[in-house]
């Protein structure tokens, strides 16, 4: 977890945590504390294999992870986009899950445009199975195109 994100999570009050869907933040932090190795945003986590990619707005220090080497990489973007429809087709819409909604919307908009322009292969645990695919330009916007399982 990035250092800013860990600082944010581990310093959160119980009331704030409950309001964003973490009902037992003290227990969560205590449970994962020994497993968390904070890193700086943009760090090479496994040089040449995994790089943290800062995506601002969701939580302080939120990161995506670029896995692999050029030209064959996979970007795991985490909570930057939550819906394969809304987040992709309306990335400028603000969402309640972002700690900085304005920055989150701007980051999503930039991310969607960039990955569509570059053809970046993506993975999202929030998108329908298999969660792997690409965002492509379609008419005046963008759409999610999942990879085939065949």
Q: Look at residue 100 in the predicted model and tell me its pLDDT.
A: 92
**9 and 79 together in one domain:** no
**28 and 72 together in one domain:** no
pTM for this model (two decimals): 0.89
* Domain span including residue 80: 40-146
**70 and 93 together in one domain:** yes
Average pLDDT over residues 1-21: 93
Total domains in the chain come to 2
**80 and 90 together in one domain:** yes
Q: What is the pLDDT of residues 80-129, one digit of tens each?
A: 999 999 999 999 999 888 889 999 999 999 999 999 999 999 999 999 99
Helix H or strand E encompassing 143: strand 141-146
- Do residues 57 and 104 make contact, with C-beta atoms less than 8 angstroms apart? yes
**56 and 17 together in one domain:** no
Residue 149 has pLDDT above 80, yes or no: no
Q: What stretches of 68-119 show up as alpha helix (H) in DSSP?
A: 86-89, 101-118
Main-chain dihedrals φ then ψ at residue 30, nearest 5 degrees: -60, -40
**34 and 44 together in one domain:** no
Confidence of residue 133 (pLDDT cuts 50, 70, 90): very high
Confidence of residue 28 (pLDDT cuts 50, 70, 90): very high
Q: Lowest mean pLDDT: which of 15-19, 37-41, 138-142?
A: 15-19
Average pLDDT over the chain reads 94
- In angstroms, the CA 24 to CA 9 distance is 12
Task: For residue 81, give the CATH number of its domain.
Answer: 3.60.15.10
**55 and 103 together in one domain:** yes
**130 and 72 together in one domain:** yes
Q: Look at residue 70 in the predicted model and tell me its pLDDT.
A: 81
**96 and 115 together in one domain:** yes
**54 and 111 together in one domain:** yes
């Amino acid at each position: 977890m990035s250092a800013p994100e860990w600082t944010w999570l581990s310093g959160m009050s119980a009331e704030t945590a409950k309001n964003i869907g973490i009902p037992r933040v003290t227990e969560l932090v205590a449970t994962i504390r020994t497993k968390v190795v904070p890193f700086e945003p943009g760090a090479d986590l496994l040089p040449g294999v995994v790089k943290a990619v800062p995506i601002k707005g969701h939580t302080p220090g939120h990161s995506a992870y670029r896995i692999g080497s050029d030209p064959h990489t996979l970007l795991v973007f985490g909570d930057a986009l939550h819906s394969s429809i809304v987040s992709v087709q309306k990335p400028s819409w603000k969402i309640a899950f972002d700690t900085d909604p304005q920055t989150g919307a701007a980051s999503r908009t930039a991310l969607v445009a960039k990955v569509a322009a570059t053809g970046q292969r993506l993975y999202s645990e929030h998108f329908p199975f298999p969660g792997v695919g690409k965002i492509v330009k379609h008419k005046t916007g963008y759409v999610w195109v999942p990879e085939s399982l065949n």
